[in-house]
Structure 1
Amino acid sequence: MSDQFIEPNELLQAQVQPHSRDDVQDSQLHVWDVPTRVFHWLLVASFIAAYVSNWLGVSYFTYHLWSGYFVVILVGFRILWGVFGTHHARFANFVRHPVESLRYAKALLTNKVKSYPGHNPLGALMVLLLLLVMLVQAVTGLFANDEIFNAGPLYGYVSHDFSLALTGLHKELFYWILAAVAVHVSAVLFYVFVKRENLVKAMVTGKKPRRGFENARSIKSSRVWLALFLIVLVSGALAGIIVAAPEAVLDMGY
């Protein structure tokens, strides 16, 4: 009986055999679908566009208005996606009881907090807050006016005085949104540099390392066709409301 001789270079190749594609995929948890990621970055871009177009003055009112349309459509889509979307995008799978959110906040102070594959309890609250204030901000803008030349497309539905009240709220909410965004960005940077959890990369690639989330569900499909249908649905509803609205003619009271 003789032993089989193995060449040293063959042994070395066996030890450094690269991982198979399946092994690499199994090491990654697919959390964020394509529609959720696209929504996130488009909302950021729309908010910036709305601010810049407003800062540039009344000549850019049309651009400001279209930025508002995009925000309404995007937030309306995200609300529906929170019901019909993929696993980690659904509100039912990341919005938690306030008590759990409080416990998470306390644990965060002691650095003994557990990680979540999707939004953590505090992140979930921030998502809900941003969706709410940005929706109210965009919708009030549809009724607003600048008391000079321009009025929102739904101005004709309300009195001039009520439009002014909504205009004031529209302006005031901007600072609340700015504060919420600052908190959100600070929290993301904290997770990236302190907790070493790259949330920005995850919102770009849609994936997180599976280690620590062995029992978490990895989504199999982004349901892009469903997302497109919901976008068309929300866009059509908004367009119908705007087309049916009375003509927006400023009533200055004289």
Structure 2
Amino acid sequence: MSKNTTSLNVKIKVWDFPVRFFHWGLAICFVASWASAELFDNAMQYHLYAGYATLVLILFRVLWGFMGSTTARFSSFIRSFATTLKYAGTLHKPHPGQQIGHNPLGGWMVVVMLGMLFAQAGTGLFSSDDVATQGPLAFWVGDTLSDTLSGIHQQLFNFLLALIGLHISAVLFYRFFKHDNLISPMITGYKDLPGGTSAPPLHFVSNGRAFLLFGLVMIGVLVPISIV
């Protein structure tokens, strides 16, 4: 008796290593930033380090969004308002996802989080606690503007907490209602699609190019900070 191959899942590569490294590295940096500022005394130096690492990751991800693999590129997941709204209308249907990469709503979430995190890390460069710790560029803007940016830096964290909560809620919604596991592909890089699904051709850029780009971004961020 022959097997019905259309009922078998199709495993395809969805996420390259640079995207997965960025995702989990950013999560670690965010936790480290929060813990060093809120949980531990005399740990603000580590808060600065986590902020520098966040800035490097964000800038790398933006560049990788134009130079990276198919699913990493903004052009593959930034959709029009009409397309996004149409997709949102299908959320009530509990069928397994067949989306390759980010869906339209997830794509816009990526853009918003990148912008918020960049603003968070950027304002941190100019912030000061008026006691013992200040960002490396705080002296460039004067006390008044530094205090303003410090307040923005603190308020942005609350918005980021809300966004992260929404992100985690969405992942759980897709896992248990839509029967679409978004976590495993971001760990392994591979996703199981329902049998019969036709996956589009995907192009994956070499990790070597990603390492070179990441190194250049790191130099571009850390060298100016270290010499100011």
TM-score, normalised relative to structure 1: 0.82
Between the aligned residues of both structures, percent identity stands at 37
- Contact (CA 8 Å) 1:107, 1:113: kept in 2 or not? no
Can you list the C-alpha shifts for 1:129-184, whole angstroms capped at 9, x where unaligned? 11110110011001100011111111121111000000000000001000000000
Whether the 8 Å CA contact 1:37–1:204 is kept in 2: the answer is yes
1:29 aligns with 2:37: no
Q: Which structure carries more relative contact order (alpha carbon 8 Å, separation 6+)?
A: 2
Shift of 1:113: 9.5
| Rounded Cα–Cα distance in structure 2 between residues aligned with 1:32 and 1:191 | 18
Partner residue, 1:68: 51
Secondary structure at the residue paired with 1:29?
strand
Counterparts of 1:84-103 in structure 2 under 5 Å?
Answer: 84-103=67-86
Q: How far did residue 244 of structure 1 move?
A: 4.0
Match of 2:200 among 177, 199, 216: 216
Instruction: Please report how far the alpha carbon of residue 74 of structure 1 lies from its aligned counterpart in structure 2 after TM superposition.
Output: 0.4
2:155 to 150, 162, 172: 172
How many residue pairs align between the two structures?
224
Distance 2:172 2:11 in 1: 22
* Range with bigger deviation, 52-61 or 226-235: 52-61
Residue 180 of structure 2 aligns to a residue whose secondary structure is coil
| 1:195 equivalenced with 2:178 (yes/no) | yes
Q: Is 2:108 the counterpart of 1:125?
A: yes
> What letter matches 2:166 in structure 1?
V
Counterpart in 1 of 2:118?
135
Deviation at 1:57, TM superposition (A): 5.0
2:31 is matched with 48
Q: Give the distance between the partners of 2:96 and 2:106, measured in 1 at CA.
A: 13
Give the conservation status (yes or no) of the 8 Å contact 1:35–1:222: no
Letter of the aligned partner of 1:125 in structure 2? W
Structure-2 change in CA distance of 1:169 and 1:137 (3 Å): same
- Evaluate the alpha carbon distance shift between residue 194 and residue 88 of structure 1 in structure 2; reply closer, same or farther with a 3 A threshold: same
Mean Cα deviation higher: 56-65 or 146-155 = 56-65
Quote the offset at 1:116 in angstroms: 1.3
Aligned with 1:158: secondary structure?
Answer: helix
Aligned 8 A contact 2:94 2:177 in 1: no
- Residue type of the alignment partner of 1:224: N
CA apart distance, 1:115: 3.3
Aligned to 1:161: 144
Alignment of 1:241 onto 2:224: yes
1:179–1:172 CA distance, 2 compared to 1 (3 A): same
CA-CA distance at 1:27 after TM superposition? 2.9
SS in 2 for 1:109: coil
Query: Residues 21-67 of structure 1: CA distance to partner in whole angstroms, max 9, x if unpaired?
Result: xxx9x931111001111110010000000000001355101100000
CA contact (8 A) 1:96 1:121 kept: yes
- CA offset digits 1:181-224 (Å, max 9, x no partner): 000000000111111111001111111124354132244x4521
Task: Classify the secondary structure of the residue corresponding to 1:208.
Answer: strand
Measured on the aligned residues, the alpha-carbon RMSD in Å equals 2.3
Q: Report SS of the residue matched to 1:28.
A: strand
